[in-house]
Amino acid sequence: MLKLNAGLSRKVGEPDYGSRGASVNLELEVESNLVNDSDGLMDRIRRLFTLARQAVDEELGRAGPSSAPRSGGNGNGQRPVTTSQLGAIRAIAERLGVDPERVTRDVVGTGLDALTLRQASQLIDELKRRAGEPAGRSNGDRR
Amino acid sequence: MTAAARSVPPVRSLSRTGRDYLSYTQVTTFQRCPLKWHFEYVAQRPHERVGAALAFGSAIHTALELHFRALLAGCTAPSGQELLCGYDQAWQADAAPPVRYGKGESARSLQAMASRVLAAFTGSPQALPGGEILGVEEELRRPILPGLPDLLARLDLIVRTDSALVIRDFKTARSRWTEANVTEAAPQLLLYGDLARPLAEELGDLAIRLEFVVLTKTRSPSVAVHPVGLDPHQLGRIRRIMTQVWHAMQTGHIYPNPSPMNCATCPFPQACRTWRG
């Protein structure tokens, strides 16, 4: 008998510089002849990690508002930043020569990992203002 | 997310579809030809060829993505030449398998077409999102149907206006869309709207507006907006269809569905011909 052991840990940011984490370790006994079937073995390992990932996601999703999966949503009123907003924050921060994590904490009082959709909008406006670009609800205006 | 909408365990989904989620494309692929679906998602065969229309549409999407990402990041809108560079790079990446061109088409003629299409786009009001961009090629994923894997979609553009959350999907087409085209494509946007509902709720229960933006591949390309009404009956229907298709996928009854429309653009012609059943 062959034993597979898959472990996964994840930490998410919380308001006021806090964080919360979850980890899971799964052990599974599989047929020993799988050692001769590398594709089959890899498939079982992938499945084990998928299960571990789902368990961690569920745990973090259940425990608090800031743990919703990015863009996935859990309907709890604290929608996380979209990946597009996050990319924009990083891009503008880079242009300004500032650390995105630090400027996020300075402006909205929380880390990038815990940003909500509204906070991200507010931060993007502020960063654009600092960059001397028009901010506000019309970020599509052509220049 | 509704309390009832628990997705199926990912392992089951993985073993059936090769992925731990379901996409609208996956469902419509199965509807059109279960064997193509099998090759694509279960066997994960490399494509033997790629249709020029598909590679073109994909490369245009990359150029539009470049445009909107620049706007979101507060940059000046890229020039037509910069957008065309984005198109070229995506074309090179997508056209790795042999490209199957239509009559009179070539990589060069399609690049010239791309230049015209992108010029029409940048000169149209659709180049201005008319609100705050929240997502560009944004991946949304959540369980929306009980007993089914999560639905995953990549939304071309999500814009917040004062009164609505606008979900915009860009299409390239040989000619202007008719009402029948919009009706046929509407289920995709209805599902995307459903997927984006939590975003609208977060933003104070904004109304959701769904729009197709169709760019025509014609001598003088046009850019037209086609709104899609939020029809709950239609949404219910597509949700039921997705459930049925998911159950059909699980039965493992795979068969080819040959037709001039399906086969002309199929990336697996050789594999299909040699498939023993």
Spell out the alpha helix ranges (H) of chain B: 10-17, 24-32, 34-37, 52-72, 80-94, 107-122, 179-195, 197-202, 232-251, 260-264, 269-274
User: What percent of chain B has pLDDT above 70?
Assistant: 93
**What local confidence, expressed as pLDDT, does residue B265 receive?**
87
- Give the structural domain span for B81: 34-250+263-272
User: What is the model's pLDDT at position B4?
Assistant: 43
* Helix, coil or strand: residue B239: helix
Residue B126 contacts residue B64 (beta carbons within 8 Å): no
Which of B46, B64, B43 minimizes the C-alpha distance to B169? Answer: B64
Cα–Cα distance for residue pair B108/B103, rounded to 1 Å? 14
What confidence category does residue B8 fall into, taking pLDDT thresholds of 50, 70 and 90? low
Strands B223-228, B99-100: pairing is unpaired
pLDDT number for residue A68 = 35
At a CB cut-off of 8 Å and minimum separation 6, what does A94 contact?
A: A100
- Considering only CB atoms, B132 lies closest to which of A46, A74, A139, namely A139
Is B16 inside a domain boundary?
no
- Across B225-243, average pLDDT: 95
Q: What is the pLDDT of residue A78?
A: 53
Taking CA atoms, B151 is separated from A38, B9, B123, B145, in Å, by 30, 13, 35, 8
Pairwise pLDDT comparison (B225 vs A20), residue with the higher score: B225
Closest partner residue to B201 (CB to CB) among A75, A92, A141 is: A75
Q: What six digits make up the tokens of B197?
A: 């509902």
Residues of chain A with C-beta less than 8 angstroms from the C-beta of B134: 82, 84-85, 117, 121
Residues paired with B50 in a beta bridge: B99
B92-107 per-position pLDDT tens digit: 987 677 898 988 899 9
B160–A87 C-beta distance less than 8 A: no
- Confirm if A104 and A110 have CB atoms less than 8 A apart: yes
Helix (H, G, I), strand (E, B) or coil at B2: coil
Residues of chain A neighbouring B130 (CB-CB closer than 8 A): 138, 140
Average pLDDT score over chain B: 91
On chain B, the residues whose CB falls within 8 A of the CB of A75 are 1, 198, 201
- The pLDDT, as a whole number, for residue A132 is 83
Q: What average pLDDT does this structure show over B1-23? A: 62
Residues of A in contact with B133 (CB under 8 A): 84, 139-140
* Side-chain half-sphere exposure of A27, counting CA atoms within 13 A: 3
Assign B90 a pLDDT band (cuts: 50, 70, 90).
Answer: very high
Q: Quick one: pLDDT band at residue B146, thresholds 50, 70, 90? A: confident
For residue A143, give both structure tokens.
């220049």
Least confident of A72-81, A93-102, B37-46, B237-246: A72-81
Instruction: Pick B181 or A26 by higher pLDDT.
Output: B181
Considering its fold, how many domains does chain B have in total?
A: 1
Instruction: Give the whole-angstrom CA distance, residue B248 versus residue B201.
Output: 33
* Token representation of residue B249: 């996928």
In-domain check, residue B256: no
- In this structure, what are the phi and psi dihedrals at residue B9, rounded to the nearest 5 degrees? -55, 135
B70 falls within a domain: yes
Residue B13 lies in a domain: no
Nearest by CB to B73, which of A82, A88, A135?
A: A88
What mean pLDDT comes out for the span B211-224? 97
Counting as low any pLDDT under 70, the low residues of chain A are: 1, 3, 8-23, 25, 27-31, 37, 39-40, 42-44, 46-51, 53-79, 134-143
CATH code assigned at B40: 3.90.320
The residue extents of the domains of chain A are 1-68, 71-143
Q: How far is CA B15 from CA B11, B37, B143, in A?
A: 6, 14, 18
> Is the entire prediction scored with pTM above 0.80?
no
Does B228 reside within a domain?
yes
- Hey, are the CB atoms on B74 and A128 less than 8 Å from each other? yes
The reported pLDDT for the residue numbered A57 is 63
Measured between CB atoms, which of B133, B135, B201 is closest to A140? Answer: B133
Does some domain include residue B191? yes
* Alpha-carbon span A10 to A22, nearest angstrom: 6
List the helix and strand counts (H, then E) for chain B. 11, 8
Whether the CB-CB separation of B169 and B68 falls below 8 Å is answered with no
Which two three-digit tokens encode residue B96?
């790795």
Measured CA to CA, the distance from residue B184 to residue B192 in angstroms comes to: 15
Strand partners of residue B155: B138
Rounded Cα distance between A122 and B238, Å, is 37
Helix, strand, coil proportions of chain A in percent (round to 5)?
A: 50, 20, 30
